[in-house]
Each structure stands twice: as structure tokens, then as C-alpha cells.
A and B are shown apart, each in its own frame.
Chain A
Amino acid sequence: MTSTNGHSQTLETDQPGAAQRHGGKVMRFHLKIWRQANPQSAGRMVDYEIDNVPTAASFLEMLDILNERLVARGEDPIEHDSDCREGICGTCSLTINGIPHGGQRGSATCQLHMRTFRDGDTIYVEPWRARPFPVIKDLVIDRAAFDRIIQAGGFITARTGSAPEANALPVPKVAADLAMDAAACIGCGACVAACKNSSAMLFTAAKIAHLNYLPQGQAEKDTRVLNMVRQMDKEGFGGCTNQYECSAVCPKEIDAAFIAKMNREYALASLKDITTGLGSAVD
């Protein structure tokens, strides 16, 4: 069925009527997909030919079709992550033809449709490539490092029940809007995958900006930036060298300017850390 030397077999539709039911518009693709049994084993690109793919199918639906045909032939399906399939949960990943989420501006892989490809295209599908995101199987990667960055300071300490009346603290609309711009991050990790340094600075900066723009976030402003940046480094993510590929592939088009804000706040907080002993609150 599959091979690595180009002699791959076509995975045809099991039901010949399928093409008609999709209005007759179907496509054919040469797929080169990363397969890896587990984190320890070496992975490899495997060739698949797929035909009768409806133009209206999404990229993930194309993979569903491929998997159904693989199972029908007794092969293991290709593992990949997805959940909401409407671009908000951040579960889907996939580097498609070298670009995380496939290069359609402001959208996740689940929002990419096959009609944006040409019939007969060769498509390369790989997992996010970054050391802090180890491959679990095939195209599924482990993004727990992001959760640990949030644990380091990506919150406002507000015990349930202790909150003051919501309108007691006005938030200027400009600040609220900027906070929302940053908070739109879906935590998918495309920013890391796009970066040659595997930097998580866009992800980290977006959370810091969300919380530090708000008056509620001021009390923990300095410890937040210090702890989150240190955790980011500890996880093995690289630094930013200002190429902004992170922002270019971000499904929510998070602005790379937040990274500059983070760097500024980090510098100031570090200074305070040295001069005032802020360090007692810093890990």
C-alpha cells in the first residue's frame, strides 16, 4: 500500500458513486506524510496517492477519507490531532508544505479547504518541528510545555468568591481591546513551529500582554513576566530574532509587537528584581 520509494498505490474510493454525490467535483493528490510509531523511534515520510477527494472537503476531512481507506485495507490510520474543527480550540496542528497550518492567512489547519489546492498537487504533511514539542505518534505532538509556561504566571490570582463588583474597576476601552487582541491566542503552537529558533515568545508575550494591559493584572505584573520568560527558557524554546514568521502563521494573527512589550517589561522587572529584592516572589 505504502512505500518510501515513490511506488505508492492509489487509495481509491470504496464506493464509485461518491464522486457524483459531491457534485462531481473531485481531486487527486500525492501526499507525503510523516509517520512515526512513538517518541523513541525514527520517523519517515511515507507516500500516499489519494483520488476522489471532494473539493469541498477540509484538509482534515481529506485525512479522514485517507484514514477510512487505510483502515479498509487493514492499515493503521495516520494519527493527527483535531477537535473543534472551527479554528478556536487550538488542537489541530500540521505543517503543510513547510508552513504551519498551511499558509492560509489567519486560519488553522481545520479551516483550510482542498479547493485552495490544485488538482494533482504534491502535499507534504509533517508535525510541528520543535524540540520542546516531542512527537507522540505520527503527526501528534506533546504541547504540555505551554501549560507549564501558563503555570509559571499566566493568571491573575483571584480566589473564587473574593472578586469585587465588576464595574468597580473601570478598564479603558483601549486597554481592554488590546488585552483582547492578545488573549485571542488559541495555544496551538504554530508560532513555535514556524520559528527557526523554536521560540515561544509570541505565545508567552501574548499571555503576558493580555494580563499586563489590564488594571487587574498589575499586582503580579513583574513576577509574571520574569517567571513566564524563565519557564519558557527552561522548556528549551529559543529566543526571538525578529523575523516574525510566528505572527505570519498565527491563526489569530497575534501581533509580534507584543514580544517587544514583553522584552521591555522583562528588562524593567529584572532591574527591580536586582534592586528591590522582588526575587522572593520569583521562582
Chain B
Amino acid sequence: MTISPDALDGKTPSGSLDRKWDDYKKDVKLINPANKRKFTVLVVGTGLAGASAAASLAEMGYQVKAFCFHDSPRRAHSIAAQGGINAAKNYQNDGDSVERLFYDTIKGGDFRSREANVYRLAQCSVNIIDQCVAQGVPFAREYGGLLANRSFGGAQVSRTFYARGQTGQQLLLGAYQALERQIALGAVKMFPYTEMLDLVLVGGHAKGIVVRDLVNGKISSHAGDTVLLCTGGYGNAYYLSTNAKGCNVTATYRAYKHGAYFANPCYTQIHPTCIPVEGDFQSKLTLMSESLRNDGRVWVPKRKEDCGKPPGQISESDRDYYLERKYPSFGNLAPRDISSRAAKEACDDGRGVGPTGLGVYLDFADSIQRLGEKTIAERYGNLFEMYERITGENAYRQPMRIFPAVHYTMGGLWVDYNLMSNLPGLHVLGEANFSDHGANRLGASALMQGLADGYFVIPYTIGAYLAGQANKKAAPDAPEFKEAERVVAERTKHLLSIKGKRTVTSFHRELGLLMWDKCGMARNRAGLQELLQKIPALREEFWHNVNVTGESTCLNKALEAGGRVADFLEFTELMVRDALHREESCGGHFREEYQTEDGEALRNDAEFAYVAAWEYKNGAANHGPSEPVLHKEPLNYEHVHLATRSYK
């Protein structure tokens, strides 16, 4: 492994933590209103981060072009977030503050995020709520008409704002409507059904993108003064996840191949309460709200032989309530990473339930007996109904079956305090960047980060870059664009020409199983090294044996998927290398070799308190990267003291 000797500079402003952002805003270069319209900003992806950024920048006077692969910007997967959004408003008078939200987020991330970014996030959180309310987001209200809050994700204060179980939908629609208004005004030119397939660098700066029109297949390029990637996470590297079918790593991975560093790709979040996989036809996984664990008891049979029996025939003494047994003080409410790993252990032990053996029971019988079915129905009725729709089982009569699933990715393209990557002009927002969640994201924090980046951070930090770019426009007919278009067209043609025997999905599914098995909830050296053999082999087979049907000149979803899976087949190797190099356990990254005697994550602050940012190196072999170079950004904690998370 090659390690760069130079420490990566996050460009955190100097001064005390609580003054950094204010001082930054005071000092950052401004662009004259008359000059703003001379700059074109390319926004790729229109979820919470992209839509909020595109709308805000257009309102400020920049020319904005926005791109999404959906038929409408309203479809982005931000829409599926259920729980809520955190903000340090302290409306409940329960002792919340910016400082407390900051600390909870840093600690939740297992001390692997950049202090100054997280503090800024906590500061911006209060403005987000104001902004969303002004847009008409119908947050839950008290009878007096003021905003309601609930507690979430183990926080000791009630700071989560919510719109029934559809908070992500309502926040996205707010940003989408602001965006549509700018489209109507002509300030944003929107390109739906348009997928970014490459980044264009001119003179080392990100000055454009190459896109494919998904309806007619036309490949074209767009020149701009800066590029914003707001393209979400890479959870679909595992094939099965709670992400939408379309979620992919292509935009960020293509930027990585042009030299943008990819940070902490091994940090993935596995959510403990999802509906288990039913069979190999399964296309995605569905999250069940974690709140169910308030009244449900998690168990598996003590004996393997009992796994096939109906749960009602397994007597109380033959059941292993393993969370209550292992974590007596937290019990069924043990944190996400702990609960997920415990479920995996039970199933690895051969005691998993359900048709595939990959499931554990979440049993409401005791609660129904104690509180009555009516109370349980009031609390969780919609969830029980959703469960029944998917599984055909009535959870009032028999225990639910649940299993962990990939849910969110904390890693992403490396960015500095300005949200700019090491490639000048390339900004990265939302889940696509790495900056705020460290090794583990807390509940109700993803929506907060996407909107903070788009509404309140990029409108300031973009000036820092653009102020120096007035006379450095890339000509749209520059040879770099034509060359990039040629490369994309050739790759598309190549994918369609292979005409092998296997479908794109079959490769994706196989890759996902490998990753889930060896680079999922628990990882070890041998397994990861095995992946470094198997992934390149699978990639090799893909380029010889995939069958991408149809043509390039019309709507062709197999072709879209083919390109995305080809990128996953390279990107997963980077995830594995990162997981292999990080010889410690922290947050969502659990290395079996590094655990305490009682099975808890064992962090190694002396050696690993840094961001691992990987630089792409072209491989000699066909279609494969060679070993990337590691750049380290040391995490200097000036404000908080590193501590061990304990849940015993």
C-alpha cells in the first residue's frame, strides 16, 4: 500500500470552534450580483442536497443547470426517509443546544468525523427548520399551533422534527417546489432523464460533465464554472439494500477516476430492523421503523433443531432473548450496530428463522398481553399493515421476522471545509461526500446534512472558488469535452457489444452477496483478502460474459444498469481495500480481529484517528484499477475528548 507522506488539509478555518463558521462567512469572498449571472453551476442529482443547492444558487443569481436520471426531480431517494430531521431548536426546553447536537453527532460517528464540519452542521440545523416551515413543509404541530418534537436515535433530548412517517418526502417536496419555481423563472435549466457519465477536467479544474439522455440515448457535454455532485450514497454496492433501485456510485466513482479522493468507503450503516430476504428473486429491502423495538422482544430458538418449528410451539425456556441476555441494561434497545451484529451472530450460529434462515423474531406477544392489541395497533398499526402486505403474515398473531440491511453510506468523496474536493471546482454535497457522520450516522441526521449543505453551506463556500474563476471559462468546444464524449460513447458501445450469457442483474446480485458476506456487518482479514481475489475475477467475467440487450439510441434500462454495475465492480474493490487497511473497529466498520473481550468495537485512536482518502491509480490490466494511494487527513480534536462508546 502506498501512503502519501503529506497530510491532507481540510482547510478548517482557525479560531475557536463556535466562531469558525461566522468568521468564515465574514471573510469569504463575495461575488457581485451582476457577476453571478456570468457563472454557470452544474448540479448533478436533485435530492435534498441537489435540489436545495440548485434552488438557492439560482435565487442568488447564478445560472444553474440541474441534472437527474429520474423523470422528475421529485423522485430522488431522499423521499423515502421516514423518521425526521434533527435541529438544535431546544423548543422542548430540555437542555438541547448547538453544542449538544454537535457532541451527540461526533460521538455517534465514533470520533471519526471532522469537528469543524459537524459544529457547522449543528449551527445550520436551526435555520433549516425555519426555511422548511416558510416553504410550507407540514411538520407535526402541537394543539397550540407550535412545532412538535420527538426523541429519536438514542438522543436524550427531543430535537427531531417530523411530518408523520414521511419527513423525507415533505422536505424533498419543499426543495423540489423551490426548484420548480426557479425552473419556471428560467433561472434553472432542468435536465430530467439525464445521467452523468463522466466528469470533464480542463486545466485540472472540474469544468463540465458528459451526460446521456436516457430517452433518446444522445451523449452530450455541458460546460460550467463549477460542478456540484449531489448524487447520494453507494449502498447498492450490496445489491440488496433499503436504497432505491436506481441509487448508484457512478457519478462519484467517475470523479474518483479523474483524481478526486474517495474517503472512508468502508463506512457503511447496516440498519437492524428490516424485513428479511425471502428468496433470490428479491429486488430490494424494506426498513421497518426502529421504534418497534420499544415494545418488541428480539429472540431466536436456543436449539438449531427448533428453527423450523412455528414460533408458538417453541416454549419460553427454549427461546434465547439474546439482546436482553447480552446487554441487560439496554436490552432490546441496544444501538443499531450492536443489534445488527448480534442478529448476524445468531444466524451464523445456525439459529436464524424463516425460509432462508436469515431472520430473527421480533415478538409483540408480551406487549399485547400487557397493553392490549388496541394500544399496539395505535402505536404501530401502519407498520404491522406494511409488514403484512409484504410478508403475508399477521404480526399480532405471530412474531415479526426481521434482519439487518444496508441502509446508508457514511463514506464518500473527500471534501474540505468548503465542500470542495481536492479537484478544484468539484463540490460534493449530501450523502455523496464523507464529511459529517464519521463512522456511523445517527438517526434523523441525513436529512439535516443534505439540506445544510444545499441551503446554507454551498451558497457561501461556492464564492471562495468562483471569485478566482472569472476569466477562466472553459470553451464548450474545448477538446477535453469531445474526448470525454468519445470515451463515454465507446464504453456504451462496448457494453452493448459483449452479448454474453449472463444478465447485468445476475452480476450485481453475485457481487452483492460477496460484499454482504465478507464486507458487511463484520469483516476480517481473510474474508477481505478473499474478496480482493473474487471481485476482480467477477469483473473480468462481466466484461466477457454480460448480456446488455437493446440499443443505445432509445430508453434502455439494461444499458443504464450495465454501466452502473460495471462501476460497482470496481468501486467495491476500493471499499474492501479501505476495510482491510483500517485495522480497528469503529461505528459501522467492525473488524472481528479488533474487539474487546465481550465483543465490543475496539477503536485504535493512536493509529487510525484520520480520514482515509484514496487516490485512483490506473491499472495496466483491462478494466481494472491498480492499488490506490492513501492520503491521510489527521483528525485533530481541539474541542472534544475521545472516549469509548459503551452500551453495557
Chain A residues engaging chain B, CB cutoff 8 angstroms: 18, 21-23, 37-38, 54-58, 60-61, 64-65, 68, 71-72, 74-77, 79, 81-86, 88-91, 104, 107, 111, 113, 115, 136-137, 140, 142-144, 146-147, 150-152, 154-167, 169-173, 176-177, 179-180, 183-184, 186-187, 210-211, 214, 216-217
Query: Would A151 and B136 be within 8 Å (CB), given that A76-B549, A89-B77, A140-B555 are in contact?
Result: no
The count of chain B contact residues (Cβ–Cβ below 8 Å) is 83
Residue of chain A at shortest CB distance from B190: A147
What string of 1s and 0s marks CB contacts (under 8 Å) between B134-153 and chain A?
11101111111111000000
Instruction: Show 23 A/B contacts (Cβ-Cβ < 8 Å), sorted by A.
Output: A61-B281, A71-B503, A72-B503, A72-B547, A83-B70, A142-B71, A144-B71, A147-B73, A150-B180, A154-B180, A155-B177, A155-B178, A155-B180, A158-B134, A160-B52, A166-B147, A173-B142, A176-B139, A183-B163, A211-B136, A216-B133, A216-B134, A216-B135
Query: Would A89 and B79 be within 8 Å (CB), given that A54-B281, A57-B281, A137-B554 are in contact?
Result: yes
Query: Would A60 and B355 be within 8 Å (CB), given that A156-B136, A156-B177 are in contact?
Result: no
Q: How far is the CB of A37 from chain B (nearest CB, A)?
A: 8
Residue of chain A at shortest CB distance from B499: A74
Most buried by A among B79, B129, B282: B79
Verify A158–B75 contact, CB threshold 8 A: no
Q: How far is the CB of A16 from chain B (nearest CB, A)?
A: 13
Chain B residues engaging chain A, CB cutoff 8 angstroms: 52, 55-56, 59, 70-77, 79-80, 89, 91, 127, 129-136, 138-147, 163-164, 166, 169-170, 173, 176-178, 180-181, 183-184, 190, 192, 215, 244-246, 278-284, 286-287, 355, 389-392, 455-456, 459, 501, 503, 505-506, 547, 549-550, 554-558
Verify A83–B244 contact, CB threshold 8 A: yes
Residue of chain B at shortest CB distance from A64: B283
Residue of chain A at shortest CB distance from B454: A160
Verify B503–A159 contact, CB threshold 8 A: no
Verify B455–A89 contact, CB threshold 8 A: no
> A77 contacts which of B389, B506, B549 (Cβ < 8 Å)?
B549
Q: How far is the CB of B168 from chain A (nearest CB, A)?
A: 8
Q: How far is the CB of A41 from chain B (nearest CB, A)?
A: 11
Which residues of the other chain, A, contact B355 by a CB distance below 8 angstroms? 22-23
Residue of chain A at shortest CB distance from B356: A21
Q: How far is the CB of B385 from chain A (nearest CB, A)?
A: 9
Query: Would A166 and B133 be within 8 Å (CB), given that A64-B281, A85-B283, A136-B215 are in contact?
Result: yes
Query: Would A151 and B181 be within 8 Å (CB), given that A83-B77, A184-B166 are in contact?
Result: yes
Q: How far is the CB of B239 from chain A (nearest CB, A)?
A: 12
Verify B163–A180 contact, CB threshold 8 A: yes
Measured CA separation A155–B391 after assembly (Å):
38
Verify B554–A38 contact, CB threshold 8 A: yes
Verify A151–B555 contact, CB threshold 8 A: no
Instruction: Give me the 3 closest cross-chain CB pairs, A-B, nearest first.
Output: A170-B145, A163-B134, A155-B177
Verify B555–A60 contact, CB threshold 8 A: no
Interface of A is mostly: loop
Contacts A54-B281, A83-B244, A171-B141 known; list 9 others, CB within 8 Å: A22-B281, A74-B547, A79-B557, A84-B79, A86-B287, A151-B181, A152-B184, A161-B131, A167-B89
Residue of chain B at shortest CB distance from A81: B71
Which residues of the other chain, B, contact A65 by a CB distance below 8 angstroms? 281
Measured CA separation A129–B100 after assembly (Å):
53
Q: How far is the CB of B84 from chain A (nearest CB, A)?
A: 14
Which residues of the other chain, A, contact B503 by a CB distance below 8 angstroms? 68, 71-72
Measured CA separation A115–B278 after assembly (Å):
13
Which residues of the other chain, A, contact B142 by a CB distance below 8 angstroms? 173
Q: How far is the CB of A11 from chain B (nearest CB, A)?
A: 13
Verify A21–B79 contact, CB threshold 8 A: no
Measured CA separation A54–B141 after assembly (Å):
44
Most buried by A among B355, B391, B547, B556: B355
Measured CA separation A77–B504 after assembly (Å):
12
Verify A167–B146 contact, CB threshold 8 A: yes
Which residues of the other chain, A, contact B505 by a CB distance below 8 angstroms? 64, 68
Q: How far is the CB of A129 from chain B (nearest CB, A)?
A: 17
Which residues of the other chain, B, contact A81 by a CB distance below 8 angstroms? 71
Q: How far is the CB of A66 from chain B (nearest CB, A)?
A: 11
Which residues of the other chain, B, contact A176 by a CB distance below 8 angstroms? 138-141, 145
Verify A68–B506 contact, CB threshold 8 A: yes
Verify A74–B549 contact, CB threshold 8 A: yes
> A83 contacts which of B75, B145, B281 (Cβ < 8 Å)?
B75
> A217 contacts which of B136, B147, B169 (Cβ < 8 Å)?
B136
Which residues of the other chain, A, contact B139 by a CB distance below 8 angstroms? 176
> B59 contacts which of A84, A160, A167, A211 (Cβ < 8 Å)?
A160
Verify A151–B390 contact, CB threshold 8 A: no
Measured CA separation A163–B56 after assembly (Å):
13
Verify A166–B79 contact, CB threshold 8 A: no
